[in-house]
Amino acid sequence: MHKFIVKGPCKIKGEISISGSKNAALPILASTILFEKEVTIKNLPRVKDIDTMLNLLKSLGSVIKFSKNKKIVKITKKTKQNYFASYSLVRTMRAGILVLGALVAKHQKSVTSLPGGCLIGARPVNYHLNALKKLGMKYEIKKGYIHANTKGKLKGTKIRFSKISVGATENTIIAACLANGITILRNCAIEPEIIDLINFLKLGGARIKFIGKRTLKIEGVKSLESVSYSVMPDRIETGTFCVAACLTGGKLKIKNFDPRLIKTELSLLKKVGAKIITSKKQILISGPKKIKNITNLVTKEYPSFPTDLQAQFMVLLCKANGKSLITESIFENRFMHVAELRRLGADITIKKNKAFISGNTDFQAAELMSSDLRASVALVLAAIVAKGSSTINRIYHLDRGYENIENKLQKVGVNIKRTH
């Protein structure tokens, strides 16, 4: 099993180009099931979750052709369609559930495994199932599989999500594209990755528009046209590298990213003392000599502070001058990295969904274990500023969501290597 050896402390200096967004690419790939004709997806990140999704599509009857660098994929349909999304493919990632809405909308039936992914909380699929049921899907759950079908096409209706859910919003948008009539979705998630999915579907002829801040109107169409689309860059990767520059008092130029997508995160980094200059497609960030604390950082739905950057900011606040507090309001089990950060010397107390961080931590190297995708990158960040040589085990979590992270970090001055 692969692991990282990180020798710290390191200072980050140089430039990094941001990869395509995993969280935008996955729903876009799932939605290609709706299309009859060839679909071309560009700027794919080469990460494990993308491979898993492409293998899932293959198993369902899609033909996948890669470009040489595997960043562009052409997807066409075989004449024989499969409707069975197996546990072996869906178990490692949450986004597997997104093929359910597409299969039911396109083929009126599906047997889809309940999903896996990071162990960061319950993340129930009931929001997905309730919304699809309102569109006319009938289902029962047997032996860990959702057996779903519809009588004829799905039918447009009014749906209000009881809780803002990214996955449920995506699944329902995808399903409603081919439904008969008009669907109104209220209390939708409005993350940039959802906007990317909508832009992709609209290019193929879907009729989707916002009629309120969190309200979507979708007019069902009979079929979608051939399309070529480039996936947006990854805002969580961008945020992670911004934190890395800030943490090490380094200087980083981040290319191929629109800074407007992480306004909240950049304003927080300015608050802790970073100097930031933004232009159309790049961010210049210089870390402070002394990191300032944040009295209460709360994770919330976009456009607020994202749960996917909570672990990375926690590492930053461990080095801050003074006490900080992070409140995790999205997932109930997202402090699994805390025990590992304590091994490096962090002083963090957890009370329910709050993390009290003492600050002024002098990180010392240790052997560490990754528990989930964002937690594992937090451990890499902490190891970068720790004294000595740290080993980070189980980095397959990292490979699910960060493309060539060790190569990118090596280029900007981090002493990191991958070993078996």
In the structure encoding, which two tokens stand for residue 22, read together?
A: 């995993």
Question: Which residue shows structure tokens 């002024």?
Answer: 360
Query: Sheet holding 275-279: strands in order across?
Result: 13-17, 251-255, 282-286, 275-279
Fill in the amino acid letter for 36.
E
pLDDT value of position 120: 46
Fill in the amino acid letter for 27.
P
Classify 3-19+233-419 by CATH class: alpha beta
Q: Where in the chain is the domain with CATH 3.65.10.10?
A: 3-19+233-419, 22-230
User: 83 and 146 in contact (C-beta within 8 Å)?
Assistant: no
The predicted-structure confidence for 120-149, as pLDDT tens digits, reads as follows 454 578 999 999 999 999 999 999 899 999
pLDDT value of position 122: 47
**Would you say residue 118 has pLDDT above 70?**
no
In the set 118, 177, 246, 318, the catalytic residue is 118
Domain 22-230: CATH superfamily is Enolpyruvate transferase domain (3.65.10.10)
User: 410 and 416 in contact (C-beta within 8 Å)?
Assistant: yes
The predicted-structure confidence for 148-197, as pLDDT tens digits, reads as follows 999 999 999 999 999 999 999 999 999 999 999 999 999 999 999 999 99
**Would you say residue 345 has pLDDT above 60?**
yes
Question: Which residue shows structure tokens 């995506």?
Answer: 170
Does the annotation mark 177 as catalytic?
no
pLDDT value of position 123: 53
User: 346 and 357 in contact (C-beta within 8 Å)?
Assistant: yes
The predicted-structure confidence for 265-279, as pLDDT tens digits, reads as follows 999 999 999 999 999
The predicted-structure confidence for 9-55, as pLDDT tens digits, reads as follows 999 999 999 999 999 999 999 999 999 999 999 999 999 999 999 99
Across 77-81, 109-113, 122-126, 303-307, least confident range? 122-126
User: 144 and 125 in contact (C-beta within 8 Å)?
Assistant: no
